[in-house]
Amino acid sequence: MDKQARIYVAGHLGLVGSAILANLKAKGYSNFILRSLQELDLTRQEAVEAFFETERPEYVFLAAAHVGGIIANNTYRADFIYVNLQI
pLDDT tens by residue, 19-67: 999 999 999 999 999 999 999 999 999 999 999 999 999 999 999 999 9
Could you tell me if residue 1 is inside a domain? no
Question: What are the strands of the beta sheet with 59-62, ordered from one edge?
Answer: 32-33, 7-10, 59-62
Cα-only R_g, the chain: 14
**Res 51: pLDDT:** 99
Q: For residue 10, name the pLDDT band (cuts at 50, 70, 90).
A: very high
Please state, in angstroms and rounded to a whole number, the distance separating the CA atoms of residues 5 and 1.
Answer: 7
Q: How many domains does the chain have?
A: 1
Question: Domain range for residue 11?
Answer: 7-86
Mind listing the pLDDT tens digit for each residue in 73-82? 899 999 999 9
CATH number of the domain where residue 62 is located: 3.40.50.720
Could you tell me if residue 2 is inside a domain? no
Could you tell me if residue 38 is inside a domain? yes
Average pLDDT value for residue range 67-74: 92
pTM of the complete model: 0.91
